[in-house]
Every structure is written in structure tokens, then in C-alpha cells.
Amino acid sequence: MSLTNRRVLSPRSGGKFFIVIVARISTIHQDKRSLDDQIAVCIQIIEAEYPGPFNYHILRSQGSGEHLDRKELDELKDLIESGQLDVVIAEDLGRICRRNRAIDFCELCQDHETRLLAINDRVDTDEEGWEDAAAMATWHHSRSNRDTSNRIKRSLNNRFDQGQLMESLPYGYIRPDGATSDTQLSKDPDAEPIFKEMFRRLEEGATYSEIADWLNALKIPTGPYCRRDKWDCAGVSRLIHNRLLKGVRIHNRMVTKRLNKTGRHRSVKAPPEMLRTRLCPHLAFFDEPYYDHVIRLVDGRNAKYRRAKDGRTDTRSGVPRSRTCWPGQHLRCGICGRPMYWSKSGNSKAMFCSGAQAYACWNSLNVMVPQHLQKLNDAVLAEIAALPDFYTILTANVQQHLQAAPEEHRKRQSALESQLQTANSALRNIANALEKSAASETLLDRLQTLEAEKSDIEYQLAQAKKPPTDEIIVPTQDDLFELAREIFRDLIIEDQEAGRAMRRLIPEMYVVPYRCCDSNAIDPKLHFRLDLAALLPPEVRELGIGETLSKRLVINLFDEPQRVKYRAVVVARRALGHKERDIAADLGITQPAVQNAMYLHRQMQHFGLRDPYVVVTEAPQGDEGKLRRHRHPRFRFDPLTDFPLPW
């Protein structure tokens, strides 16, 4: 660039000439010697046009010219606004910044009487009409970037279609040295049982965090391209949602979107028409119907925990992300129906009604869950022991269902085939509607829903086409005992899988306050529904013969006082004419305890009760003991409207 016939370079203050030279490269892959080359060209121009002494400051940087929040650019703006800078010189405007911000930068220089020279773009802000040259230069730089981006995308798409684009692989796959095609990739045989067990656990209700803990306990590596060396929820989610597990490679799932304010890019989901897929059956760990079935189950379970976007209310705002051990998120208050939260009572773990915490329920009883596990265990084992001829009856039912299985199997298969035909017909209708008119968002949503339904029906049909089982092993009563003991043993060490087993074994459980008829003291009882069918093997549960194994039970979450514990014995002995002193000595209790037992019996007769305890359905008045939540001015009793009273 020559400055001949233009105003010569001169310092504004008559002293030394102060110049800033801007040199930039974009990425680490570019030759750093280019910075020295840019600086040398700028110095040659200045020396040719200004013979006097000058000071120059060099701004070297590495980063995209699209980024408008670079510290070097901020430093350059500060120097210009200081009013001491005479000239800013660069090889082209793109070395300073890109897009319309380059023109804004030229105007900033003009406002502070700083001359800007862009050599290759022939921009000199001291020349009339520099705006035209600057506008053409910024357009040219943007157009060149766009053309280069399109050429790269074209090449990558073609190489992906040919199986030559070797992207990063997750855990479970092996890429030999020098591999250039996905046909050279293979599955890691050691990962096969890990994936099978992982999907089995997910199908049964395991959470991402539980899978992560399990993988970390087995010291399974996170993969060659992971930044973390430990599994977490996000890592497990990315792994199972990688469609390569069903033999499908994908490309263009995400694209970058520029934030115009900073010029930086963020990753967003690409439009559906940009997605490219490539089938690689030799890389599949699962068949497609089973994989899609498990992913739908997992996504359906996690949908309610998703953080809302697009300005909608975050339904999980303020909710901790930490896990809770059983019966957290399961045990409920028998008065208002709300869940009970973990808290502390002294140094012990306890559970407390969330409604009472918010002054919406008066049931503020603490439940010392760890101390009550043995009572619950005893109740479950006693119920198993009370099953009449369990093994004989269940075996007969299983044989009866096995005999009828072929006919039921045929009916189910026929029904699923009919549903599949209906789904295919609906999909064809939507496809025809999309061909005849512009794409409708409603039609596209309906199309996506129908495709998911069709995939689910296809999976069920594939399962139904398998020959029915002709032999099922029925567990004995001893087997059920051992299974129950194992679940409660694992609960003590807060095992998450044991917690899920307890949720199946006890689908409903409520804490209800009770009062003894001769006292004002209020104590909690546990109302729960026991479903012993949860202990049966899956193939037995699928036969639908476990309805008779579901029962509702009530157990005390407190130790009964002596008058309640020995009432029946004392009453029977007194009816035989035994003296109170002798009864007390035989039972090992005091004589007043015998008298209290008789008084309790008389109170029960007076009220016509068979059980000494009665449920407390309203907030206690008078001597309420620790239940004083309803005394607070903020208290407003507000039970859940759809709550079925457990008693």
C-alpha cells in the first residue's frame, strides 16, 4: 500500500510518532511465523512513509476475528480512547475484527483522531470515501469465511457418507491404529456384559447416578476422549443416548449458532433435515427395537425432572439435585398426603412431613426410620410365613396359565399387528398431508409422536412373536424369605437398588397419628400396602397372578407401653380370679402396670373398641404434646385434594 498523493503521516503532538501494529492468527494450527511477517510488512510501510523517529506497540494475538470480547481488542480500544495514539495499522481489517464491528472500529478511530490503515483492504480513514472500501472489505471477509465453511461442511458430509469421517468413539469400541473407515472399527468384547447389565438396570428403574456409581465401583474407564476420569450422570446419559449402541452413526446432530454480541458460537440442535445417518450393524450392542424401548422408558421417567426452557417455569427450581435414600420421596403423611422429608431429631435421622414444614399440616410427628426397619422387616416376613400353601397354589396357577399361554399369545400378537396397521395408516396420511401442503408444526409433532408409538408397538410385537415360555421356576416360601431379608439387609447400607425393590414391594406407605383411648399421647403408625408379587421372578409377574399377594397392613412405629402389651393376658387372668399381685409377679411387671391394663380394658369397653388405639383425624386441642404446628399464626390446613385417606 502506498500513501503517495495523500496526507503524509505526522504525529499529533509534534513529538514522537506513536503507532500500534495489530497482528493476529486464528488457530494453533496456523504458523506463528505469520505474526512476524505481518509485523514486518507494517513496519516497512511506516518507515517508507515517515522518515522521523517513531514508537510502536505490537499487539500479537491468537483467536478468531469473529470474537469481539478478546482482551487484545479491548486493550486496543483503550489506547485509542486515551487520545495518545496516532496510527493503527494492520495487514487487513480482519486482523482487528470482522463483520460490521470493523466499520464501527474505523469510526471509533476517526472520532479520536487516530488514523487507521488496513494495507491489503486499502482502507485509510484519512482518505475521503474510506467507508466504501471498509464496507467492501468486511463483506469480502464475511463471504470468504462463509464459503470456506460451506466447503468444509461439504467435504465432511461426503466423507461421512463414505464411512471415512472418523469421529471420537465412546467407551466400548476399538479403533485400530491407522484405521481410516468405520468398517475397521470393532466392539470391545469386555464391554458387552457391561452394556447388557447397564440396560437391564435402566429398564428396571435405575437412575443415571446409580449407574455411574456402579461403573465407578467396577473401575470402568470413561472412554478415550472424555475429560473426566469418573462417571457422572451426564456421562451416563451421553453414553446410553449414543445411537451407535444400536449400530447407527450420526453426523450433523448439532450446529453452531453465533451470538452477535460477542461473536462467539454456541452449540444448538441442528434442524432435522441436516441430520445424516449411516448404518453400521457390526457396531451394534443391541437390536433397535429393544434399544428404543429402554431409551423411551428412561426419557419418560426423567421428563418430569427436566429443567424447563424457552421462558417456561422451572418446575424443579429450588429442588436439590442430591439423591435420597429410601424411603425418601416415597413415605407420605397420612393426614395431608404430602411427602415426608429427611431431617434430624437429635443425632438420629428422622422424617418430617413437608406440609407441616410449610405450616399446611398439623402432623409434625418425627419418624425414626432407621430404628423402625426391623419392625417393617418382621411384618413382611410374618406375612410371607402366613401365606397358606403358597408354593402349591402358585405352582398350580402357573401351570394353568402356561396351558392357556399359546391362545393368549396368539390374541396378543393379533392385537399388536392390528395396532401396527393402524399406526402405519396414520403415518401415511400425515406423509400425504405434508406432501400436499407446507410443513405444519402440528403435523410434524404428530408425526414424531406416531413414529415413537409405532416403534414401541414393533418392539412389543417382536417380543410377542417369541415362543411362549413352557417352563417357569416358582420360588418357594424359603426363597421369598431370603429375598426379603436380602432387601432389608441392603437397605441398612442405603443401597439404591434395594430402595427401588422396596418401592415395588411396598408401593404405598403413610404415617398416621394414633392415640391410646386412655391417654392424650399421640404416636405414629405405618399404613402400607404390601405387594409380595414384587418378590416373584419377572416371568411369573407377567402372568398376572400376583393380585392375591397384595395386602394392606398397619404396624406400630413405637414401643407399646406395658398396659397395652399385657392387657389381654391381665384381663384373662383376672377373669380366672387371680390376684393383681400374683399376675404382676408372674409377668415380671409392677402391680400398678396391672391396674393400668385393667383401666385401659374398661375404657375400651366404654367406647366399644376392639383396639386400644384410635386414629387422630383432627388437630389435637388442649394437651397436644409436641403437635403444636397448628398453633402458629401462619398455619392453614391444606391437604392434597386427590389424597385417599389410608384409614
- Find the CATH number of the domain harbouring 21: 3.40.50.1390
Task: Say what the pLDDT of residue 402 is.
Answer: 59
**Residue 317 banded pLDDT, cuts 50, 70, 90:** low
**Residue 432 banded pLDDT, cuts 50, 70, 90:** confident
CA dist 384 and 617 (Å) reads: 31
**Residue 286 banded pLDDT, cuts 50, 70, 90:** very high
Task: Say what the pLDDT of residue 247 is.
Answer: 92
Q: Is 245 domain-assigned?
A: yes
Task: Say what the pLDDT of residue 472 is.
Answer: 61
pLDDT above 80 for 113: yes
Task: Say what the pLDDT of residue 445 is.
Answer: 74
**Residue 1 banded pLDDT, cuts 50, 70, 90:** very low
Summarize the confidence of residues 299-305 as an average pLDDT.
81
**Position with higher pLDDT, 464 vs 223:** 223
Summarize the confidence of residues 206-211 as an average pLDDT.
87
pLDDT above 90 for 192: yes
CATH of the domain at 274: 3.90.1750.20
Task: Say what the pLDDT of residue 547 is.
Answer: 59
Q: Is 484 domain-assigned?
A: no
- Which of residues 438, 464, 490 is at a domain's end? 464
Please tell me whether residues 138 and 97 are part of one structural domain: yes
Cite the beta strand spans of 93-157 per DSSP E. 115-118, 123-124
**Residue 190 banded pLDDT, cuts 50, 70, 90:** very high
Q: Is 366 domain-assigned?
A: no
Lowest mean pLDDT, pick from 528-532, 550-554, 642-646? 642-646
Please tell me whether residues 134 and 245 are part of one structural domain: no
Beta strand 54-62 with 123-124: parallel, antiparallel or unpaired?
unpaired
Please write the tens of the pLDDT for every residue from 391-428.
666 666 666 665 666 666 677 778 888 888 888 888 88
CA dist 187 and 333 (Å) reads: 50
pLDDT above 70 for 624: no
Task: Say what the pLDDT of residue 439 is.
Answer: 60
DSSP three-state, residue 391: helix
Q: Is 49 domain-assigned?
A: yes
- Are residues 361 and 338 in contact, defined by beta-carbon separation less than 8 angstroms? yes
Backbone angles phi, psi at 509, to 5 degrees: -155, 135
Q: Which of 162-176, 423-437, 455-469 has the highest mean pLDDT?
A: 162-176
Q: In this structure, is the dihedral angle defined by the CA atoms of residues 499, 500, 505 and 511, taken in order, positive or negative?
A: positive
- Which of residues 147, 165, 191 is at a domain's end? 147
Q: Is 475 domain-assigned?
A: no
pLDDT above 80 for 13: no
Q: Which of 40-49, 308-317, 531-540 has the highest mean pLDDT?
A: 40-49
N-to-C CA span, the chain: 93
**Position with higher pLDDT, 22 vs 4:** 22
Please tell me whether residues 183 and 78 are part of one structural domain: no
Please tell me whether residues 102 and 136 are part of one structural domain: yes
Please tell me whether residues 118 and 187 are part of one structural domain: no
**What is the span of the domain harbouring residue 257?**
173-305
Please tell me whether residues 298 and 400 are part of one structural domain: no
pLDDT above 60 for 545: no
Summarize the confidence of residues 434-453 as an average pLDDT.
74
Summarize the confidence of residues 121-144 as an average pLDDT.
90
Cite the beta strand spans of 292-382 per DSSP E. 332-333, 340-345, 348-353
Q: What is the CA radius of gyration of the chain?
A: 38
Summarize the confidence of residues 574-583 as an average pLDDT.
89
Helices (H) and strands (E) in the chain, counts: 19, 18
Contacts of 374 (CB under 8 A, 6+ apart): none
- Are residues 12 and 112 in contact, defined by beta-carbon separation less than 8 angstroms? no
Task: Say what the pLDDT of residue 541 is.
Answer: 61
Summarize the confidence of residues 562-567 as an average pLDDT.
90
Helix (H) or strand (E) holding 594: helix 591-607
Please tell me whether residues 52 and 86 are part of one structural domain: yes
CA dist 270 and 252 (Å) reads: 7
The residue whose grid cell reads 513496519 is 43
CA distances from 348 to 345, 502, 551 (A): 5, 22, 31
**Residue 625 banded pLDDT, cuts 50, 70, 90:** low
Please tell me whether residues 177 and 300 are part of one structural domain: yes
Summarize the confidence of residues 540-564 as an average pLDDT.
76
Give me the residues paired with residue 22 across strands.
Answer: 59, 90
Write out the DSSP string of 527-567: EEEEEGGGGS-HHHHTTT--GGGEEEEEEESSPPPHHHHTH
User: How many structural domains compose the chain?
Assistant: 4
Please write the tens of the pLDDT for every residue from 477-524.
677 777 777 777 766 656 777 778 888 888 899 999 998 988 888 889
Q: Is 536 domain-assigned?
A: no
Mean pLDDT, the chain, whole residue set:
83
Please write the tens of the pLDDT for every residue from 450-479.
887 888 888 787 877 776 665 666 667 677
Please tell me whether residues 23 and 80 are part of one structural domain: yes
The residue whose grid cell reads 512476524 is 36
Q: Is 332 domain-assigned?
A: no
C-alpha cell of 307? 429443567
Please tell me whether residues 112 and 198 are part of one structural domain: no
- Which of residues 409, 435, 464 is at a domain's end? 464
Give me the residues paired with residue 349 across strands.
Answer: 344
Please tell me whether residues 143 and 179 are part of one structural domain: no
DSSP three-state, residue 265: strand
Task: Say what the pLDDT of residue 4 is.
Answer: 42
Report the percentage of the chain scoring pLDDT > 70: 85
Please tell me whether residues 180 and 284 are part of one structural domain: yes
Lowest mean pLDDT, pick from 303-317, 416-430, 587-601? 303-317
Cis peptide before 537 (omega within 30 of 0): no
Report the percentage of the chain scoring pLDDT > 90: 20
**Residue 193 banded pLDDT, cuts 50, 70, 90:** very high
- Nearest residue to 611 (alpha-carbon basis) of 492, 525, 548: 525
C-alpha cell of 390? 403358597
For 618, left (φ over 0), alpha (ψ -120 to 50), or beta?
Answer: beta
**Residue 5 banded pLDDT, cuts 50, 70, 90:** very low
Q: Is 600 domain-assigned?
A: yes
Task: Say what the pLDDT of residue 285 is.
Answer: 94
The 10 Å CB-count burial string (b at 16+, else e) for 223-258 is beebeeeebebebbbebbebbbbbbbbebbeeeeee
